[in-house]
């Protein structure tokens, strides 16, 4: 079932999100670049229909991915629990079976963590789709002269008048504001994940403390997953702080992204 979900995750959105032309290779890049140029030249603070069309499409694209990633996470967690329960029941003399269960029992939680990261990322992009389109401006083919000029103006604004009170195109105000909102939502989603990991760690370590000392297998499994939960909570906390920092001062990171050296 997991391989089928992986295939659905990759192939499903272009077929289910509608607007087949956008789902083709290079379709989003070809559509977003001129739409952003027109938005930049406009003095209208609202997103033009061409941009809104892409934002709506990207929302649907990632909403589909949320459903698939959530199902994948549920399946992987269920398989992990089943495998470790089987490991605890396995006869110690079955060395081959035990090794196979341990190997799969380690690989599946890693896959589940990856599915959780993917799920969180898609929840965030669905909540704030516009900034997730920005990489199409700098990735792929080199920008044409018109787009290159717009990007150069944006970079100048982000390092100069946008910070000092000069005129700012409404499009850039929208880009900066949405970029900040993107990282705010990302921090909130990650904070929820951090709390979940912390709660899981508490539960696992309490069970570890109550387990009989003679039951080394059970204590080993609980201790292993308890340690993983603690590490995951700490790493997620660092991620939360990083995104809060970007949300409070989004211009430098947006500038880095438009320079092709930044990331979400």
What pTM did the predictor assign? Answer: 0.87
**Ranges 36-40, 94-98, 144-148: which has the least confidence:** 94-98
Q: Can you tell me the distance from the alpha carbon of 55 to that of 140, in angstroms, rounded to the nearest whole number?
A: 19
In this prediction, residues 22-48 reach a mean pLDDT of: 88
At 31, is the secondary structure helix, strand, or coil? Answer: helix
Tell me the percentage of the chain whose pLDDT exceeds 70: 93
The predicted structure's pLDDT at residue 252: 93
The predicted structure's pLDDT at residue 219: 84
Range among 7-21, 150-164, 243-257 with highest mean pLDDT value: 243-257
Per domain, the residue ranges of the chain are 2-258
Instruction: Dump pLDDT digits (tens) for 67-104.
Output: 999 999 999 999 888 887 877 776 655 566 667 777 77
In this prediction, residues 160-179 reach a mean pLDDT of: 78
**Which of the four pLDDT bands, split at 50, 70 and 90, describes residue 160?**
confident
**Which of the four pLDDT bands, split at 50, 70 and 90, describes residue 249?**
very high
The predicted structure's pLDDT at residue 245: 96
Instruction: Dump pLDDT digits (tens) for 171-214.
Output: 999 999 999 999 999 999 999 999 999 999 999 999 988 887 77
Q: Can you tell me the distance from the alpha carbon of 126 to that of 109, in angstroms, rounded to the nearest whole number?
A: 25
The predicted structure's pLDDT at residue 209: 87
Q: Can you tell me the distance from the alpha carbon of 171 to that of 49, in angstroms, rounded to the nearest whole number?
A: 13
Q: Can you tell me the distance from the alpha carbon of 74 to that of 248, in angstroms, rounded to the nearest whole number?
A: 34
Inter-axis angle of helices 2-16 and 49-89, nearest 10: 170
**Which of the four pLDDT bands, split at 50, 70 and 90, describes residue 1?**
confident
């Amino acid at each position: 079932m997991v391989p089928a979900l992986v295939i659905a995750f990759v192939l499903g959105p272009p077929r289910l999100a509608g607007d087949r032309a956008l789902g083709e290779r290079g379709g989003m890049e070809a559509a977003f670049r001129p739409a952003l140029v027109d938005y930049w030249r406009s003095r209208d603070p609202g997103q033009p229909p061409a941009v809104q069309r892409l934002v709506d499409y990207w929302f649907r694209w990632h909403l589909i991915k949320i459903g698939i990633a959530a199902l994948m996470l549920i399946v992987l967690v269920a398989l992990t629990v089943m495998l470790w329960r089987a490991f605890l029941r396995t006869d110690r003399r079955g060395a081959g079976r035990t090794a196979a269960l341990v190997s799969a029992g380690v690989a599946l939680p890693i896959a589940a963590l990856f599915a959780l990261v993917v799920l969180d990322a898609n929840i965030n992009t669905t909540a704030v789709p516009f900034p997730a389109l920005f990489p199409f401006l700098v990735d792929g083919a080199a920008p044409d002269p018109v787009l290159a000029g717009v990007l150069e103006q944006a970079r100048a604004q982000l390092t100069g008048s946008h910070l000092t009170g000069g005129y700012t195109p409404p499009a850039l105000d929208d880009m900066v504001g949405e970029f900040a909102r993107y990282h705010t939502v990302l921090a909130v989603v990650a904070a929820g994940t951090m709390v979940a990991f912390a709660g899981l760690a508490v539960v696992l370590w309490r069970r570890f403390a109550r387990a009989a000392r003679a039951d080394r297998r059970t204590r080993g499994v609980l201790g292993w997953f308890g340690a993983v939960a603690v590490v995951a909570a700490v790493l997620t906390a660092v991620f939360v702080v990083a995104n809060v920092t970007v949300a409070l001062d989004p211009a430098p990171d947006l500038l880095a992204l438009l320079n092709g050296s930044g990331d979400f």
